[in-house]
Amino acid sequence: MNDKDKKHLAIKKTLKIVGPIVAIAGLVFAIIGFVDFFGSMSDFGRPTKFWCFFVGFPLIAVGVGMTAWGFQREIASYSMRENAPVFNEAGKKIQPGVRAIADAVKNSDVRICPSCGSENDNDAAFCKKCGASLVKKCPSCGADLDADAQFCDKCGTKL
């Protein structure tokens, strides 16, 4: 955050505090003026606090305006935060689908029997046609290898 943003934030913070205070003060002034005006009308006196009315209303307008301005960023970032989880949720919903497709592609890999050439399941240990072992073990390091491997992919021994 740079200094300009900090200053901006400080102004907004002040507005958020001062705005409501000004608005409430304006409301109080307006009520005083209002009550005094009608109170003086009923007993035919002269309204002495009628000026409060004219002070109060602009204060309410200014206070509300300041508050709205002060909360502008919150309102904007709130609506942004509201949208962000929607994107995240969509991402979470898409992810298993993508994974399922990836798994399907991986599972579509078949083991070709080195003896008879027939296709076997990816996780098959023996050929379903001829019974030949589909899993080779490296004679040097004992690593599990594909049946058609020419070299051990762990230690490089030629098979």
Residues found near Zn ion in the complex (CB under 5 A): 113, 115-116, 127, 129-130, 132, 138, 140-141, 143, 152, 154-155, 157
Residue with Cβ nearer Zn ion (96 or 117): 117
Q: Looking at beta carbons only, is 75 or 116 nearer to Zn ion?
A: 116
**CB of residue 106 vs Zn ion: minimum separation in angstroms?**
22
Q: Of 40 and 157, which CB lies nearer to Zn ion in the complex structure? A: 157
Q: Residue 133 gets which letter from DSSP? A: B
Q: C-beta of 113: minimal distance to Zn ion in Å?
A: 3
Give me the least distance between CB of 109 and Zn ion, in Å please: 17
Rank residues 22 and 138 by Cβ distance to Zn ion and give the closer one: 138
CB of 117 to Zn ion, least distance (A): 7
Element (DSSP H or E) covering residue 119: strand 119-120
DSSP β-ladder status, 144-146 and 135-137: antiparallel
Buried b (16+ CB within 10 A) or exposed e, 84-103: eeeeeeeeeeeeeeeeeeee
| Beta strands at 119-120 and 144-146: parallel, antiparallel or unpaired | unpaired
Number of C-beta neighbours around residue 132 at 10 A: 14
What is the token pair recorded at 103? 């798994």
Token reading at 50: 């009628």
